[in-house]
Amino acid sequence: MQFLWIKCEDVLPGVGLGVLTVALFLGAFFFYHEVQDSPEVERNCRMAAEATNNSEEFKMKGHSAFIVGYTGAVGKVLTKELAKAKLFKKVLLIGRREIDLDDDIGNEFEQKVVDFEKFDDYADIFKDVKYGFCCLGTTRAKSGAQGFIRVDHDYVMKSAELAKTGGCKHYNFVSTQAADKNSSFLYTKTKGQVEEELKAIQFERLSLLRPGVLLGEREESRPGEAVAKFFLKPVAYLFPTAITTPMDVVAKAMINNMLAPVDRPVELYENKAIHQLSGVSKGCSGSKSQDGGDKK
């Protein structure tokens, strides 16, 4: 068989061999990251188990919290998980617009519309709110390079500064896998810079989470991400903690981490650790999930 000047019988074996080689290489890469030991797996799994035991005592203290970026994909999932857990007497949802909340989101959730360009004018929102979650973020494709930096760096840092001044003790930030202030890529470089600057604010407790490729439903369409997720579905099934993270896993990890006692002011959780903290990781087969059921 011949296509134009190309003889398929001469080309196809080489192409097939090339595809097989790439597939084997990628398989080995994902397998390595899946089986690679997490340095603190016992600690992470213990924290996930302790979270359930600590939740009732936590509720009784009547704390308040805020979520910056609650209209985004991770923020929405976190809002739903906090609504299920009913841990706070009040949760302030901070964003640039109001959205229709699900019916199961209780009255303790209050939307606060702000102009991020005039964030200082809304400093009172953060007064006496002890727990903060930052899920704020955009993409370069959507906002341009400068717009991306404005949202993912400037707005995040301003929210952290206002929160610290208002009395926030525990600030949780959703970063990204491979975040590095010295990276040559804008996305990972910006996230790495934010991590370092958040440390300088010196919260009593700072939790930095670095999830992999986020899996879940998004309101906005991102064609490139949609294609990537299509090809990553089998990877996520075979190697669930290698490079992907369901959004509900990120949310549950943040909640469990908040509920568990810690012995350090700054915590950095890579992708595998996030799965363990969530209470649904196969790597924590001996512990209990957040809802009290046995792990699979």
Q: What is the pLDDT of residues 88-145, one digit of tens each?
A: 999 999 999 999 999 999 999 999 999 999 999 999 999 999 999 999 999 888 899 9
What's the whole-number mean pLDDT along residues 261-273? 91
Element (H, E) at 268: strand 266-269
Residues tagged active-site: 187, 191
**pLDDT at position 231:** 74
Return the CATH architecture of domain 41-284: 3-Layer(aba) Sandwich (3.40)
State the chain's mean pLDDT as an integer. 86
Q: What is the pLDDT of residues 207-240, one digit of tens each?
A: 999 999 898 876 665 555 666 667 777 776 777 7
pLDDT for 33-47, tens place per residue?
A: 566 667 788 899 999
Buried b / exposed e over 259-286, threshold 16 CB at 10 Å, is bbeeeeeebebbbbbbbbbbbbbebbee
Please say if the pLDDT value at position 72 is more than 70: yes
More confident residue, 263 or 89: 89
**Cα angle for residues 290, 229, 94 (degrees, 5° grid):** 55
Contacts of 178 (CB under 8 A, 6+ apart): 188, 210
Distance CA(265)–CA(164), nearest Å, equals 14
DSSP-assigned letters across all residues of 54-123: HHHHHHHT--EEEEETTTSHHHHHHHHHHHHHT--SEEEEEESS--PPPTTS-TTEEEEE--GGGGGGGG
Neighbours of 92 (CB within 10 A): 20
Quick one: pLDDT at residue 198?
98
In the predicted structure, residue 180 carries a pLDDT above the cut 90: yes
Paired residues of 213 in beta bridges: 244
Per-domain boundaries in the chain? 1-36, 41-284
Which band of pLDDT confidence, cut at 50, 70 and 90, is reported for residue 253?
very high
Provide the pLDDT confidence category of residue 3 given band limits of 50, 70 and 90: very low
Q: Other CB atoms closer than 10 Å to residue 41's CB: what's the count?
A: 15
